[in-house]
Amino acid sequence: MENRPLEYDYTVAKMFMLTTIVLGIVGMLVGVILAFQLAYPELNLVLGEGLAEYTNFSRLRPLHTDAVIFGFTLSGVFATWYYVGQRVLKVSMAESKLLMFLGKLHFWLYLVVVAAVVVSLLAGVTTSKEYAEFEWPIDIAVVVVWVIFGISMFGLIGIRREKSLYISVWYYIATFLGIAMLYLFNNMEIPTILGQSAAGESGIGAWYHSVSMYAGTNDALVQWWYGHNAVAFGFTVPIVAMIYYFLPKESGQAIYSYKLSLLSFWGLMFVYLWAGGHHLLYSTVPDWMQTMGSIFSVILILPSWGSAINMLLTMKGEWQQVAASPLIKFMVLGSTFYMFSTLEGPIQAIKSVNAIAHFTDWIVGHVHDGVLGWVGFMIMAALYHMAPRVFKREIYSKSLMAAQFWIQTVGVVLYFTSMWIAGITQGMMWRAHDEFGNLAYSFIDTVTVLHPYYAIRGIGGLLYLVGFLMFAYNIYKTMSARRVEESELQNASPMGA
Amino acid sequence: MFHWLEKHPFFFAVGVFLVISFAGLVEILPNFAQQSRPVIGTAPYSTLELAGRHVYIKNSCNACHSQLVRPFKSETDRYGHYSLSGEYAYDRPFLWGSKRTGPDLMRVGNYRTTDWHENHMKDPAGVVPGSIMPAYRWMFTNTADIDTAFAEQLTVAQFFSVPYNQPVPMKDGSTKVVKMGGSVAEANALALAEAELIAADMKDQDVKDAVANGQIPEIVALIAYMNSLK
Mean pLDDT for all residues in chain A: 93
Q: Do A192 and B152 touch (CB under 8 A)?
A: yes
AA identity, residue B42: T
SS3 B168: strand
Task: Closest CB to A198: pick one of B36, B156, B182.
Answer: B182
The Cα–Cα gap between A81 and A103 comes to: 11
Q: How confident is the model at residue A489 (pLDDT cuts 50, 70, 90)?
A: low
Q: Do B94 and A181 touch (CB under 8 A)?
A: no
Task: Closest CB to B22: pick one of A206, A270, A432.
Answer: A270
Cβ proximity of A440 and A429 under 8 Å:
yes
The Cα–Cα gap between A293 and A278 comes to: 5
Work out the percent of chain A whose per-residue pLDDT is above 70: 96
Q: How confident is the model at residue A48 (pLDDT cuts 50, 70, 90)?
A: confident
Taking 90 as the threshold, does the pLDDT of residue B84 lie above it? yes
- pLDDT digits over A171-211, tens only? 999 999 999 999 999 999 999 999 999 999 989 999 999 99
Task: Closest CB to B138: pick one of A52, A196, A285.
Answer: A52
A289 contacts on B by Cβ (under 8 Å): 27, 31
Instruction: Look at A219 and B23; give whichever has higher pLDDT.
Output: A219
Taking 90 as the threshold, does the pLDDT of residue A493 lie above it? no
For residues B101-124, average pLDDT: 96
Q: Give the residue among A13, A9, A146, A147 at the shortest CA–CA distance from A81.
A: A13
A225 contacts on B by Cβ (under 8 Å): 23-24, 27-28
Predicted confidence at residue A494, as pLDDT, reads: 39
Q: Do A444 and B22 touch (CB under 8 A)?
A: no
Residues carrying CATH 1.10.760.10, chain B: 36-228
A284 contacts on B by Cβ (under 8 Å): 35, 68, 83-85, 88
Q: Do B85 and A285 touch (CB under 8 A)?
A: yes
Taking 50 as the threshold, does the pLDDT of residue A222 lie above it? yes
Q: How far is A301 from chain B (nearest CA, A)?
A: 17
Predicted confidence at residue A418, as pLDDT, reads: 97
Cβ proximity of A390 and A13 under 8 Å:
yes
**Which phi and psi angles does B175 have, rounded to 5°?**
-125, 160
Q: How confident is the model at residue B28 (pLDDT cuts 50, 70, 90)?
A: confident
B78 contacts on A by Cβ (under 8 Å): 430, 439, 443
A129 contacts on B by Cβ (under 8 Å): 93
Find the residue in A nearest to B85 (Cα).
Answer: A284
Task: Closest CB to A217: pick one of B88, B101, B102.
Answer: B88
Q: What is the CA radius of gyration of chain B?
A: 22
B133 contacts on A by Cβ (under 8 Å): 41
Q: Do B9 and A173 touch (CB under 8 A)?
A: yes
Task: Closest CB to A194: pick one of B62, B64, B155.
Answer: B155
Q: Do B101 and A447 touch (CB under 8 A)?
A: yes
Taking 70 as the threshold, does the pLDDT of residue A89 lie above it? yes
Q: Are strands A189-191 and B175-177 parallel, antiparallel or unpaired?
A: unpaired
Query: Which one of B39, B81, B100 makes the best mutation probe of the A interface by having the most chain A beta carbons within 10 Å?
Result: B100
A296 contacts on B by Cβ (under 8 Å): 23
Taking 90 as the threshold, does the pLDDT of residue B214 lie above it? yes
A447 contacts on B by Cβ (under 8 Å): 101-102, 130-132
The Cα–Cα gap between A299 and A270 comes to: 11
Q: Give the residue among B188, B191, B164 at the shortest CA–CA distance from B178.
A: B164
The Cα–Cα gap between B136 and B52 comes to: 14
Predicted confidence at residue A490, as pLDDT, reads: 58
Query: What is the phi-psi region of residue B181: left when phi exceeds 0, alpha when psi lies from -120 to 50, beta otherwise?
Result: beta
Predicted confidence at residue B33, as pLDDT, reads: 62
Q: Do A439 and B61 touch (CB under 8 A)?
A: no
Task: Closest CB to A279: pick one of B61, B98, B156.
Answer: B98
For residues A296-323, average pLDDT: 94
Q: Do B68 and A129 touch (CB under 8 A)?
A: no
For residues B146-154, average pLDDT: 97
Cβ proximity of B69 and B107 under 8 Å:
yes
The Cα–Cα gap between A364 and A341 comes to: 12
Kindly list the structural domains of chain A, giving each domain's residue range(s) and its CATH number in brackets, ordered by start: 11-191+211-479 (1.20.210.10)
- Distance of alpha carbon A475 from its chain centroid, rounded? 21
Task: Closest CB to B130: pick one of A124, A284, A444.
Answer: A444
CB proximity list for A380: less than 8 A, separation 6 or greater: A330, A468, A471
Query: Which one of B70, B127, B132 makes the best mutation probe of the A interface by having the most chain A beta carbons within 10 Å?
Result: B132
For residues B142-169, average pLDDT: 96
Q: How far is A195 from chain B (nearest CA, A)?
A: 4
Predicted confidence at residue A4, as pLDDT, reads: 64
Q: Give the residue among B1, B20, B5 at the shortest CA–CA distance from A177.
A: B20
Taking 80 as the threshold, does the pLDDT of residue B35 lie above it? no
Taking 70 as the threshold, does the pLDDT of residue B34 lie above it? no
Taking 50 as the threshold, does the pLDDT of residue A495 lie above it? no
For residues B169-196, average pLDDT: 95
Q: What is the CA radius of gyration of chain A?
A: 23
Helix or strand holding residue A18 (H, E): helix A11-39
Taking 80 as the threshold, does the pLDDT of residue A6 lie above it? no
CB proximity list for B186: less than 8 A, separation 6 or greater: A199
Q: How far apart are the first and last CA of chain B?
A: 57
How many residues belong to chain A? 497
SS3 A172: helix
Q: How far is A350 from chain B (nearest CA, A)?
A: 16
SS3 B99: strand
Query: Which one of A44, A45, A58, A134 makes the best mutation probe of the B interface by having the most chain B beta carbons within 10 Å?
Result: A58
Taking 80 as the threshold, does the pLDDT of residue A483 lie above it? no
Q: How confident is the model at residue A491 (pLDDT cuts 50, 70, 90)?
A: low
B75 contacts on A by Cβ (under 8 Å): 430
Predicted confidence at residue A50, as pLDDT, reads: 87
∠ CA B35-A299-B20, rounded to 5°: 60
Taking 90 as the threshold, does the pLDDT of residue B194 lie above it? yes
- pLDDT digits over A70-82, tens only? 999 999 999 999 9
The Cα–Cα gap between A195 and B203 comes to: 36
B69 contacts on A by Cβ (under 8 Å): none
A181 contacts on B by Cβ (under 8 Å): 17, 20-21, 24
Predicted confidence at residue A49, as pLDDT, reads: 87
Task: Closest CB to A212: pick one of B68, B93, B181.
Answer: B93
B19 contacts on A by Cβ (under 8 Å): 266, 269-270
- Cis? peptide before B30, omega within 30° of 0: no
Q: Do A125 and B58 touch (CB under 8 A)?
A: yes
Predicted confidence at residue B1, as pLDDT, reads: 81
CB proximity list for B173: less than 8 A, separation 6 or greater: none
A219 contacts on B by Cβ (under 8 Å): 88, 91-94
- pLDDT digits over B41-64, tens only? 999 999 999 999 999 999 999 999
B181 contacts on A by Cβ (under 8 Å): 197
The pTM assigned to this predicted structure is 0.94
Taking 80 as the threshold, does the pLDDT of residue A364 lie above it? yes
Q: How far is A279 from chain B (nearest CA, A)?
A: 8
Task: Closest CB to B16: pick one of A154, A269, A355.
Answer: A269
For residues A432-440, average pLDDT: 94
AA identity, residue A461: G
Helix-helix angle A97-122:A11-39, to 10 degrees? 20
Q: How far is B227 from chain A (nearest CA, A)?
A: 19
Q: Which CATH superfamily is B36-228 part of?
A: Cytochrome c-like domain (1.10.760.10)
Query: Which one of B2, B7, B12, B20 makes the best mutation probe of the A interface by having the most chain A beta carbons within 10 Å?
Result: B20
- pLDDT digits over A380-427, tens only? 999 999 999 999 898 999 999 999 999 999 999 999 999 999 999 999
Q: How far is CA A474 from CA A190, A386, A440, A467, A481, in A?
A: 47, 13, 52, 10, 11
- Distance of alpha carbon A448 from its chain centroid, rounded? 31
Cβ proximity of A34 and A61 under 8 Å:
yes
Chain A to chain B Cβ contacts (< 8 Å)? 276
**Which phi and psi angles does A191 have, rounded to 5°?**
-60, 135
Q: Do B158 and A196 touch (CB under 8 A)?
A: yes
**Which phi and psi angles does A210 have, rounded to 5°?**
-145, 170
Task: Closest CB to B36: pick one of A199, A216, A286.
Answer: A216
Task: Closest CB to B74: pick one of A283, A285, A430.
Answer: A430
Helix or strand holding residue B11 (H, E): helix B9-27
Predicted confidence at residue B42, as pLDDT, reads: 93
CB atoms within 10 A of CB A140: 11
For residues A98-119, average pLDDT: 97
Predicted confidence at residue A487, as pLDDT, reads: 67
